[in-house]
């Protein structure tokens, strides 16, 4: 009975963070589902005529990954999602501008930062996601700078990042509101959707 109570309490919510039994298998499964979601959700958005640059659908499961899994798994979700999507659907493109590679670096920084801020340093989901957005956009600016200097791409890194923020504000708003709300709903149900907070 005591063991059962311990397992039950392990899946309860502590503040805004899920306390769940440690399981690498569960973490890998959750990460794989989020990668798949990051491929399917953009297809659904495009089919509905909703522009990806505006609503940033691929960012949604990546932000959720930061809340649900450790930073290494979250980083993998962020890196793999655009690359696998590019290979399967052609979007985002790899050439002539390697958008898929830029997004892989941006989203990996985004997801890992969200995971560290929320799961290790216990920031609430909206603040953690905001930090992830900042980290991702800084990474994008740095990558664009390397592409310009090393490969001669004609691009203003600052203008590109600023323009993406202005165009994508609806998607940023969704990340900061809908993703935390969905996470809180999962937490209230005590679902086993990840590993415990503060773990690597």
Give this prediction's pTM.
Answer: 0.84
**CA torsion angle for 47, 183, 88, 144 (degrees, to 10)?**
100
CA atoms within 13 A on the CB side of 177: 7
Predicted pLDDT of residue 158: 94
**CA torsion angle for 40, 176, 123, 161 (degrees, to 10)?**
90
Sign of the Cα torsion 117, 122, 125, 130 reads: negative
User: What would the pLDDT profile of 98-131 be if each residue is shown by its tens digit?
Assistant: 999 999 999 999 999 999 999 999 999 999 999 9
Predicted pLDDT of residue 191: 65
Instruction: Considering only the C-alpha atoms of the chain, give the largest distance between any 2 of them, rounded to a whole number of Å.
Output: 66
DSSP for 105-163, written as a single string = HHHHHHHHHHHIIIIIT---HHHHHHHHHHHHHHHHHHHHHHHHHHH-----HHHHHHH
For residue 56, the 8-state DSSP code is -
CATH for 21-187 (3.60.70.12, 1.10.1760.20, 3.90.226.10, 1.10.8.10): 1.10.1760.20
């Amino acid at each position: 009975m005591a063991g059962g109570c311990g397992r039950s309490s392990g899946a309860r919510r502590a503040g805004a963070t899920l306390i769940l039994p440690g399981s690498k298998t569960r973490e890998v499964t959750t990460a794989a589902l989020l990668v798949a979601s990051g491929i399917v959700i953009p297809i659904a958005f495009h089919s509905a005529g909703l522009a990806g640059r505006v609503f940033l659908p691929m960012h949604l499961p990546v932000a959720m990954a930061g809340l649900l899994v450790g930073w290494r798994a979250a980083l993998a979700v962020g890196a793999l999602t655009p690359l696998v999507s590019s290979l399967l659907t052609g979007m985002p493109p790899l050439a002539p501008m390697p958008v898929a590679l830029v997004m892989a670096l941006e989203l990996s920084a985004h997801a890992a930062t969200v995971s560290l801020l929320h799961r290790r340093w216990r920031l609430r989901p909206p603040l953690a996601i905001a930090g992830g957005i900042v980290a991702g956009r800084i990474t994008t600016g740095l990558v664009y700078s390397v592409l310009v200097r090393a490969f001669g791409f004609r691009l203003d890194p600052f203008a590109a990042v600023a323009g993406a923020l202005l165009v994508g504000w609806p998607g940023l708003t969704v990340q900061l509101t809908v993703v935390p709300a969905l996470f809180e709903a999962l937490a209230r149900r005590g679902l086993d959707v990840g590993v415990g907070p503060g773990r690597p």
